[in-house]
Chains A and B, each alone.
Chain A
Amino acid sequence: MAAGKPVVMVTLVSSDGQSFQLLEEAALLSAMVRDTIQIGQGRGPAGIPIRNITGQTLSMVVVYCNKHYTAAAAADGDDAADEEKKVANKKQLREWDEQFINLEQDKLYDILVAANNLGIDGLVDLCCWRFADMMKGKSASEIRVKLGIRDDFTSEQRAQIEKDSPWVWSRTT
């Protein structure tokens, strides 16, 4: 943060009424917050209501935003020519991301849906990588079991799959 810059805070209010205060610049990682502030709302004491996202999930999202805002601000202040430091910082942030997202699948789901609703691209991307990682190399039936998804294909659709993807059954049944 540059010295002398006024510190503007913003409050996000979860669906179950919990309030989270954070720097407006950190909150602006969310496209939804950006849009709200752009139309002149959200800076009042009532804050920005975040529907559909509970305090438990929102608190994680706020941690992510704070971390990434701080990292970006520090990178701005760094000597632009110091490539080595930049690479090291990037690596550090990536490691932090990996640890942050190493969650059990229900929490991952909540954060993915929250990040998607809030329009936080970096966090959506991170969740998607983690989620994709969980599915890599697994058959359809293994994924169903892991994520508790029901096999909802009709018999016609099964016949269609058999026709256009005959290799599937060797891996799914």
Chain B
Amino acid sequence: MAECGCESRDWAELPSDALVEVLGKLDVIDLLTGAGQVCRPWRQLTVTEPTLWRRVDMCDLNGDRGTRQAMLRTAVDRAAGTMEAFSADLFVTVDLLLYVSSRASSLKSLKLVLCLGISKEGLTEALKGLPHLEELDITFCSFLYGDVCQSIGKASPQLKCFRLNRIGPVQMFYGVDTEALGIANSMHDLRELQLIGNRLTNDGLISIIDHCLHLESVDVRRCYNVQMDDALKSKCARIRNLKLPHDSISDFKLRDYIFRYDLFGDLDVVTDDDDVYLYS
């Protein structure tokens, strides 16, 4: 043992239970590029210890698209069916999502941010392989809206938390309740709902409150077709945590995209062969 007055300690030979604890506190990126490739015992542990890959957060990564996709595949493989939470942005494609879905059926939380390459059909297909999903966050994914909610609700019967956030509209558009009704009709177990920038109307929100009886938290910031009249206020009285259309979004992590949209009127997205870039 190192505790003998020796000059230096052998970090490579740290007891494996302690090493699992240490590595378990690192992000997957550190496991994949740093600590997990230091020496034989450490690498061995990252390859054979699926618990290290339970929570995979691949948002805000540098590097080209292909590399990030390869990293995700490795993380999914090493989790060996035990992954519980996955979040990623931009680089996720339908193929990748199906890869996750076919190998990580244990997933409870899925978060997709700015995944512009994912279609409704692709998402719905992937969700069929994730029956334990309790949390789904779809933020600024331009093609995921409308009747997708009904399919999501059907595919994910255990959903407790649903977030469907859109950047716009900054000005009043006509009201659309397709998403609200899809939620009301199919997500009866919801506890938490976030619909920033949605076009739903009072009717849509009332339908949700009437059908999702376990709701504790509702966030309809920037949903300017919702008018908080007395009828709606009394409907919402049982919601413990309610955020209204004109409430501040300063605590919303991706608020900068919204501020930029408000300033310039559009989210300018440019796609080329290698990557997707966002410009303000």
Residues of A within 8 A of B (CB): 15, 52-54, 57, 105-106, 109-110, 112-114, 116, 124-125, 127-129, 131-132, 135-140, 142-144, 147-153, 157, 161, 164-168, 171-172
Q: Note all chain A residues with C-beta closer than 8 A to B71.
A: 167
Question: Looking at chain B's contact residues, is the secondary structure mostly helix, strand, loop, or mixed?
Answer: helix
Q: Are A128 and B22 in contact (CB under 8 A)?
A: yes
Q: Does B264 have its Cβ within 8 Å of any Cβ on chain A?
A: no
* A131-B22 CB under 8 A given contacts A109-B9, A140-B35: yes
Are B25 and A109 in contact, with the CB atoms below 8 A?
no
Per the bound structure, the CA–CA distance linking A164 and B26 in Å amounts to: 20
Does B171 make an interface contact (CB < 8 A)?
no
The verdict on A138 contacting B25 (CB below 8 Å), with A109-B9, A149-B11 known, is no
Nearest opposing residue in chain A for B8, CB measure: A148
**B34 interface contact, C-beta 8 A:** yes
Task: Give chain B nearest CB distance to A120 CB in angstroms.
Answer: 12
Q: Which of A105, A114, A151, A165 has the most CB of B within 10 A?
A: A165
CA distance A15 to B63 in the complex (A): 50
Name the prevailing secondary structure of the A interface residues.
Answer: helix
Give residues 10-51 of B contacting A (CB, 8 Å): 11-12, 14-15, 17-18, 21-27, 30, 32-40, 43
In the complex formed, the residue of A with least CB distance to B46 is: A165
> Which A residues are CB-close (under 8 A) to B27?
136
Given A112-B14, A124-B21, A167-B67, CB of A52 within 8 Å of CB of B1 = yes
B74 within 8 A of A: yes
Chain A residue contacts of B25, Cβ below 8 A: 128-129, 132
Determine the distance from Cα of A67 to Cα of B3 in the docked complex, in whole angstroms: 24
Chain B residues contacting A135 (CB-CB under 8 Å) are 22, 26, 30, 34-35
Which of B2, B3, B12 contacts A150 (CB under 8 A)?
Answer: B12
CB pair B18 A172 closer than 8 Å: no
B3 touches A165 (CB 8 A): no
* Cβ-neighbour of B37 out of A54, A127, A136, A168 (below 8 A): A168
- In the complex, which residues of chain B have a beta carbon less than 8 angstroms from the beta carbon of A125? 21
* Complex contact A140–B38 (CB within 8 A): yes
Q: Beyond the given A128-B21, A152-B40, A161-B37, could you list 6 further A-B residue pairs with CB under 8 A, ordered by the A residue number? A: A109-B9, A116-B15, A116-B17, A116-B18, A135-B22, A165-B32
Closest to B44 in A: A157
- Closest-by-CB residue of B relative to A57 is B3
* Nearest-neighbor residue (CB-CB) of A140 within chain B: B37
Q: Which residue of A lies closest to B41 (CB)?
A: A152
Interface: B70 (CB within 8 A)? yes
With A54-B3, A110-B9 as given contacts, are A167 and B32 in contact (CB-CB < 8 Å)? yes
Please state if B40 and A157 are interface contacts (CB–CB under 8 Å): yes
Which residues in A have their C-beta under 8 angstroms from that of B74?
164-165
Interface CB pairs A-B, < 8 A, 17: A53-B3, A109-B9, A109-B14, A112-B18, A113-B3, A135-B26, A140-B33, A148-B8, A149-B12, A149-B38, A151-B39, A153-B39, A153-B43, A165-B33, A167-B32, A167-B67, A171-B34
A150 and B36 CA atoms in complex are apart in Å by 14
Which chain A residue lies CB-closest to B26? A132
Chain A residues within 8 Å of B18, by CB: 112-113, 116, 124, 127-128
Q: Distance (Å) between the CB of A6 and the closest chain B CB?
A: 34
A104: min CB distance to chain B, Å: 11
Q: How far, in angstroms, from A138 to B36 measured CA to CA in the complex?
A: 11
**How far, in angstroms, from A113 to B10 measured CA to CA in the complex?**
11
In the complex, A57→B2 CA distance in Å?
A: 12
Give bound CA distance, A129 to B64, whole Å. 30
A110 touches B34 (CB 8 A): no
B34 touches A140 (CB 8 A): yes
Which residue of chain A has its CB nearest to the CB of B13?
Answer: A149
